[in-house]
Structure 1
Amino acid sequence: MLVLALLCAGCSGTTGAGSPAPAPPPPAVPPVPGIEAEVVRMRTDVTVDGQVHVRVTDTGDEPFTVTGVALDSPGFAPLPATALTAEFEPGRTIALRTSYGEPDCAAQVAPLAARLTVVRPDGAVQELRVPLAGDDLDVVHREECAVAGVLAVAGVELTGLAAREEAVTGSLVLTRSGDDDRAVTVVDARRSVVLDVAVDGLPLGLGPGERRVEAGVEFTPASCEPHVLAETKQPFVFPLSVVVGDGEPVAVPLPVDQAQQALLWDLLERVC
């Protein structure tokens, strides 16, 4: 019995120092012969919440058609497949637009795959799970989870917007979300493509023990160039640089609802 006990002393999942052994990496998604895929975030995706592209390549010697694409990752809530029709020939690469779900910040992005509905030349339909190369979705996961981490400590709100002669004014409000008492500080506010934003008295800090703090905010036109106004995809994206405690700054978008957007459009039309 003593020999058995000594032999089993090394059976626990610990390292030599007595700490738990690191978790094994998740199993890789097996390759699919004749098809390769990569996830990419294009410039057009940055302007649309929750969107990326899956770049699919026919690496085999026969054509096929893709009629549906979805992302498969533990780090994001699953969504229904995006219906489409993309016809592939050997060597052809096509970028397929699709959406990702809400991030699960307690999970890793890997193993990452694309779920493709593939129609073969003989009419056979296959549901395939193709491994996804590329790290753009890892970047999305880090960015969105960083924002979620900030908002779990303090909410950000734009209130009381009103039209002035050549501006729209209101208040930027920070409200503590729960029991986390770390300081939250807005250190910078950046303009959009067509509108400048100025926050009074930056940095705006919500100190330990404080539940709410606010500062005045003013929006003015940054550009009246007709082509800029016509072509902009992000007229109301105002990134705030926010620090929680002694952490690194996080780019948190200032929320602008539909009624507030209408006021800002009216400002551009009135002044420009």
Structure 2
Amino acid sequence: MHLSTRSGRALVAALTAALLGGLAGCAASSPPPQTSASATAGSASEPQLTVDVRQTRTDVDGDMVTLLVSNTGSEPFTVTDVQVDSAFFATAPHWVGETVVPAAQAKALRVPFPDAVCGADRAVDGAFDGVATVHARVQDSEFDLTRDASDSLAALARLTGVECALAELDATALIALDENLRVEEEDGHPVALLDLVITPSGSGSGSFVIDTAGSTVLLRQDPDTVRQLGVEVTAAGSATSVALRYVPSRCDPHAVAEDKVGTRIPLTVTFADGTTADIVAAASSTLKGRIFEYVGQYCGW
């Protein structure tokens, strides 16, 4: 498990990841949307649509992003291609397929979260500058449309900023949850111990501190407080591990059956330049199954 899904490993950035220092927060007010279109043969009217870029709770676990295409007109249209270009993205999120968007409704088109622009080329003013190109069809008419894309949750500066922070962290150390779940009896109830393993890369001069570990909707710290860690990590340092103690947050079978983020342990890290990011250590499918089994045994299901 690694903090960057770009390298195909299982530790990914948190939905609520935040950056302090050098990265701005919410987007500034945007000017009226710019639009343009070209059409092929046919007599149908141009589709009326908007495109919003967002990451939902469902998107987080698969490191996806949603291109939300809304039909603001009175006639349905078919979308076959949507791409959003932005100075935030090193690679544009791009959806290809075919789906009908009914009048006054929207379709959520999910694609992999794009690589972020980092370093000196990164735009840090927080204002999303996305431009969407959409190929749509109405009856026998084809349209190539250009629209300003929105960031209605004002989250893309934050999310892409975390991707950049994770790239730096990725070069410094591997952080993983061990797949073995240990259970200890304490005060008459079983406590789950999750081992957070930190393995430095052995090259470079990167460093950061793992400040805290928190609770989730499925697991709470034992005792029920944010765990202060203060683990200093350097690229040239030695491997280490920290045991995190958890008990179930709730004994509700539906919490397990419908769980999406309950086995993603939130961590906060601080880099040498003072930048802070919230990340998660995501359990592998094997560890996730063991956690679910532990919760069931604890709750007596």
Q: Post-superposition shift, 1:66?
A: 2.0
Pair 1:196 & 2:220 matched: yes
Pair 1:66 & 2:41 matched: no
Aligned 1:1-272 pairs, distance under 5 A: 31-32=35-36, 34-46=48-60, 48-58=62-72, 63-73=76-86, 75-78=89-92, 81-89=95-103, 92-106=104-118, 108=122, 111-121=129-139, 123-134=140-151, 135-159=154-178, 161-164=180-183, 166-177=190-201, 179-197=203-221, 202-206=229-233, 209-272=236-299
Q: Take 2:82 and 2:157, find their aligned partners in 1: how far apart are those partners?
A: 19
Q: Take 2:69 and 2:76, find their aligned partners in 1: how far apart are those partners?
A: 16
Say whether the 8 Å CA contact 1:69–1:96 is kept in structure 2: no
Say whether the 8 Å CA contact 1:69–1:98 is kept in structure 2: no
RMSD, aligned CA: 3.2
For structure 1, the residue ranges without an aligned partner over 5 or more in a row are 1-28
The alignment of Structure 1 onto Structure 2 pairs a total of residues equal to: 240
TM-score (norm. length: structure 2): 0.66
Say whether the 8 Å CA contact 1:39–1:133 is kept in structure 2: yes
Q: For residues 33-67 of structure 1, what are the alpha-carbon distances to aligned partners after superposition, in whole Å with 9 as ceiling and x for unaligned?
A: 544323233454445521224243435x7653224
For structure 2, the residue ranges without an aligned partner over 5 or more in a row are 1-32, 38-47, 185-189
Q: What is the percentage of aligned positions where both structures have the same residue? A: 21
Q: Take 1:236 and 1:214, find their aligned partners in 2: how far apart are those partners?
A: 18
Q: Post-superposition shift, 1:192?
A: 1.6
Say whether the 8 Å CA contact 2:49–2:71 is kept in structure 1: yes
TM-score (norm. length: structure 1): 0.72
Say whether the 8 Å CA contact 1:239–1:252 is kept in structure 2: yes
Say whether the 8 Å CA contact 1:77–1:101 is kept in structure 2: no
Say whether the 8 Å CA contact 1:168–1:263 is kept in structure 2: no
One-letter amino acid of the counterpart of residue 203, structure 2: D
Question: Between Structure 1 and Structure 2, whose CA radius of gyration is higher?
Answer: 1
Q: Post-superposition shift, 1:260?
A: 1.2
Q: Take 1:125 and 1:267, find their aligned partners in 2: how far apart are those partners?
A: 55
Q: Take 1:190 and 1:141, find their aligned partners in 2: how far apart are those partners?
A: 22
One-letter amino acid of the counterpart of residue 148, structure 2: P
One-letter amino acid of the counterpart of residue 198, structure 2: L
Q: Take 1:46 and 1:160, find their aligned partners in 2: how far apart are those partners?
A: 21
Which structure ranks higher in relative contact order (CA pairs < 8 Å, sequence separation ≥ 6)? Answer: 2
